[in-house]
Amino acid sequence: MAGLRAFAAAASLSMLFVLSPATAQTPPTESIQIGLSTDAISITAGFSGADLTIFGSLENPDPLIARQGRYDVVVVLEGPPRPVVVRRKDRVLGVWINLDSETFENVPVSYSVATTRPLQDIAEPAKYKQLSLGAQNLYLKPADETDSPATIQEFTAALRERKAATGLYSENVGGVQFLSQNLFRATVRLAPNVPVGTHKARAFLFKSGMFVKESSAQLEIRKSGFEQSVFRVAHDYSFLYGVFAVSLAMLTGWLGRIIFRKD
């Protein structure tokens, strides 16, 4: 009996030694990395927009899936979040006035997307909702969630439409191109009115329509030259800046009155 127990223990041990190497050979999961050529961009008052190039790579890609073109990448450059007030104007007694408004919290000021293919061809819409990926899928949180769903939906659609009209929310289909099986390049648009502050570049990897991994990096956009000096003074010494601006306006008006005065 003791001999049988010893044989069984030895057999179990040998099975462990046989099975362990197979477990260790499990292929690693794919991942994605992105890199920016610079972590800061300086813009001037004459900035008219530009294209920002972001490079990235896939780690541990499946060669067969890569050859079949079943990897997709979506790259997003998301601006700093800020509160936004959306107002609706109505005509009352022949005059356009603001009647209703809705405040949204932590809205990305800008949102540029670049994709390998149209979003509807990459994954199911529910997946984008889950990831809050794409301008139409961003969750825009209202400050007052007790408002009626219809009102919130109306103002949310108006906010997205306004952002797109000003160029702050944009989509570049085909803006992500694979340079090899594991290297890619993405081009996202910086609007002329791109806000200053810390922007976040995010890359999403999809495999055969399934989300795999995400990677991110930060980019600082700031003003340069005289504009930067005025911007810094206005924020660091707001009261003195206000007094100076009002005084300058009064002085300009007084000088204009003297110069163009009719005797």
Q: Measure the CA–CA gap between 202 and 186, rounded to whole angstroms.
A: 11
**Tokens standing for residue 168:** 């702050």
Lowest average pLDDT, out of 91-100, 103-112, 172-181, goes to: 91-100
Q: Which of 9-23, 46-60, 117-131 has the highest average model confidence (pLDDT)?
A: 117-131
CA distances from 202 to 133, 156, 199 (A): 10, 23, 10
Strands 71-78 and 197-207 turn out to be antiparallel
The helices-and-strands tally (H runs, E runs) of the chain is 7, 13
Q: Measure the CA–CA gap between 165 and 195, rounded to whole angstroms.
A: 16
Q: Measure the CA–CA gap between 217 and 116, rounded to whole angstroms.
A: 19
Short-list 193, 49, 204, CA closest to 113: 204
Give the start-end residues of each E strand in 14-79. 31-35, 40-43, 50-59, 71-78
For the question of whether the overall pTM of this predicted structure is more than 0.85, the answer is: no
Q: Is pLDDT at 10 greater than 70 in this prediction?
A: no
CATH number at 32-80+108-248: 2.60.40.3880
pLDDT reported for residue 98: 65
Band of pLDDT at residue 251, cut at 50, 70 and 90? confident
The letter for the amino acid at 206 is: F
Q: Is pLDDT at 202 greater than 70 in this prediction?
A: yes
Lowest average pLDDT, out of 15-24, 105-114, 128-137, 252-261, goes to: 15-24
Give the start-end residues of each E strand in the chain. 31-35, 40-43, 50-59, 71-78, 81-92, 95-108, 111-115, 141-142, 169-173, 176-178, 183-190, 197-207, 210-223
Residue 74: how many other CB atoms lie within 10 Å: 27
